[in-house]
Amino acid sequence: MKRVSTYGWLEEMSEIEGGAFSDVADQIEASSSSLQTYHAVLGFLPKPFEAKSRNMPISSLLKLYGSKRSGRKTEARTQLQTRFAGLDYSVQKKILWLFLDGAQQDRKFCYKHLKYTWDAVFEPKIIELWERHHEPECAHLLVYCGNIDYLRFHLEEFVRATDYYSVAKRIGAEDKNFVIESERLGGFDRFVRVLYETNRSIGNFGATDILWKAIHYSLLRGICHIGDIAPYFHNYEGKIDWDGNPIETLVPSITWSSLVMVCMRYIFRIASKNVVAEAIQWDMHVRNLFQDLIGGRCYSNSLDGFLEKRKDYRAFCRLAYALFPDDKKHFISDADRYILNSDESTSYSEQSMDRTKWVENADLATKDLLETIQKYQLTKKMNIDEWKEIYIKNTLPKEEVFLSFVEHLNLQPVCPTKEDFIKELLY
């Protein structure tokens, strides 16, 4: 039976007849190590020089593409698309006109390129194709580049084909009287971004309302174990010195929330700087208190490091929720106006807990938190004996009967370390 092998040289060797080498191919194939070793030697030969075929003239390719009987339309299409970017614009236009009358894959090729090299001469054709095929790629092209009056007249049609954000951004940038409907954008972050991209501003009250709603919502999610961490803070690579000590440590921040980060970024540019400065000042206050309690960490760029970061962020959210400013609580009283982040609304709307449950969970998780920190003087630097004295003073009952009973039996109360006590309190 003839040997079937993916190694041509091995087949050739198996054809050796007689003599001491007749079974050498079997010996090689029986050992994967030998097979890899000898394949590296015999499986390689330098390829001889081969001249490349000359490029066919574009005019010939256009004829082949346009001819139903050529039998080479696919070949012509591939060549035209491959060489498109290096051609003169006059030639590119000929290809685009031809492709726009072609199959769907050819039209999509045109939509993609016209988005970056738009020419109004194509607009009537694009509108014709949109009204005939209603392809999403065609809709996106008209939203980005098409006639603004046509877009405004067919607004709802294009919103269904693309999204309200894209349509509002395009019309709002050119028509300052266009009213942007914030509730249709799907998120605080999208609303402030579209205001920035349409060169609009927002008053201090409105900006403060949005930012603190976003902060409060993010804290609730963080406490309820569904908080995210923005991509900017995902891949921090911890550095250590020669002694193994962290060179730089990180302390959680409310800006680790994607929603807050985006809101803060754009509000800083469309409203008074004081709005963001006030939020940062509060965030720094919480961070300083968190650092006094826990310290910072040098997170590693690994799964363990990321999970550790998530745990610290949740603990931070609990502390921040307890310290939420009283003068900002009226912004969060109208819970029905909460707008979920559009990129996450589907997954979070399916959570079993609604916002009322989130608030109940957060209130329970932070109950007496600040009072305990103050009562046990947890931010104060102290030695082991000082901590033990404070812990016993605040933990053991004060009744004389209990105290005399403890003294009589010479009992020693179990006292956790201050670090363990804080972790149990926050985590």
Q: Is the pLDDT of residue 391 over 80?
A: yes
Calpha distance 279→215 (Å, rounded): 9
Quote the pLDDT of residue 336.
42
CA distances, 324 to each of 30, 222, 225, 277, 331 (Å): 71, 14, 19, 16, 12
Q: Is the pLDDT of residue 113 over 80?
A: yes
**356 pLDDT tier (thresholds 50, 70, 90):** confident
Quote the pLDDT of residue 255.
96
pLDDT in tens, 126-184: 999 999 999 999 999 999 999 999 999 999 999 999 999 999 999 999 999 999 999 99
Determine phi and psi for 21, rounding to 5 degrees. Answer: -105, 10
Q: What's the first-to-final CA gap in the chain, in angstroms? A: 70
Q: Are 77 and 65 in contact (CB under 8 A)?
A: yes
pTM above 0.75, yes or no: yes
Calpha distance 217→187 (Å, rounded): 12
**14 pLDDT tier (thresholds 50, 70, 90):** confident
Q: What is the mean pLDDT of residues 208-215?
A: 96
Quote the pLDDT of residue 324.
97
Place of tokens 């194939």: 29
Determine phi and psi for 408, rounding to 5 degrees. Answer: -65, -40
Q: What is the mean pLDDT of residues 298-303?
A: 81
**13 pLDDT tier (thresholds 50, 70, 90):** confident
Calpha distance 382→164 (Å, rounded): 57
Contacts of 27 (CB under 8 A, 6+ apart): 34
| Range name among 78-82, 110-114, 241-245 with the lowest pLDDT average | 241-245
| Long-range contact pairs involving 410-414 (C-beta distance under 8 Å, separation at least 24) | none
Quote the pLDDT of residue 76.
92
Structure tokens at 224: 């309820």
Q: Are 180 and 198 in contact (CB under 8 A)?
A: yes
Type of residue found at 77 = R
Quote the pLDDT of residue 70.
74
Share of the chain above pLDDT 90, in %: 59
Burial track 362-387 (b if 16+ CB lie within 10 A, e otherwise): beebbeebeeebeebebeeeeeeeeb
Quote the pLDDT of residue 7.
80
Q: Is the pLDDT of residue 234 over 70?
A: yes
Higher pLDDT, 120 or 348: 120
Highest averaged pLDDT of the listed ranges 57-61, 169-173, 353-357: 169-173
Structure tokens at 136: 């999403």
CB half-sphere exposure, 359, CA atoms < 13 A: 9
pLDDT in tens, 37-57: 998 888 888 888 888 888 899
Quote the pLDDT of residue 409.
57
**331 pLDDT tier (thresholds 50, 70, 90):** confident
**399 pLDDT tier (thresholds 50, 70, 90):** low
Calpha distance 287→290 (Å, rounded): 5
Quote the pLDDT of residue 22.
74
Mean pLDDT of the chain: 87
Partnered with residue 78 across adjacent β-strands are none
Number of CB atoms found within 10 A of residue 94's CB: 16
Q: Is the pLDDT of residue 26 over 90?
A: no
Calpha distance 173→189 (Å, rounded): 18
Q: Is the pLDDT of residue 371 over 70?
A: yes
Q: Is the pLDDT of residue 3 over 60?
A: no
Quote the pLDDT of residue 398.
58
Calpha distance 254→229 (Å, rounded): 10
Burial class from Cβ neighbours inside 10 Å (0-12, 13-18, 19+) for residue 276 reads buried
Q: What is the mean pLDDT of residues 260-273?
A: 97
